[in-house]
Amino acid sequence: MRKLAYKSVSALTGMAGGYLSGVIFKQVWKVVSGKNDAPEARSREYGWGEVLAAAAVQGAIFGVVKAALDRATAQSIESSTGTYPGA
């Protein structure tokens, strides 16, 4: 039962994290590049450097947000159930 509860909460935080990382990335990209939108990989108007830089920044932000939410979720489950998930 606890495993199912953790998976459900984890799925919800995963969706929230995807949304949150997208919002953060858009704001960071505006500050870094001065442009409102990040380049699409197949867009002709951007060069390789800008496309790959945007992808790297987006991936890093997503990874940090995911790790932070996963860790916070695991610690919340531990504090409410007394068992750390995955241990």
What does the pLDDT read at residue 87? 56
- Residue-level pLDDT, tens digit, the chain, 87 residues: 667 777 888 889 989 999 999 999 999 999 999 989 999 999 999 999 999 999 999 999 999 999 999 999 889 888 888 888 865
Torsion, Cα 27 20 18 40, to 10 degrees, reads: -10
Pick the closest to residue 10 from 79, 78, 71 (CA basis). Answer: 71
Quick check: helix, strand or coil at residue 85? coil
For the chain, where are the alpha helices, taking DSSP H only? 2-33, 48-81
What does the pLDDT read at residue 6? 75
What does the pLDDT read at residue 1? 62
Alpha-carbon distance 17 to 15, whole Å? 5
> Domain spans of the chain?
2-78
Hey, how many other C-beta atoms are within 10 angstroms of the C-beta on 78?
A: 14
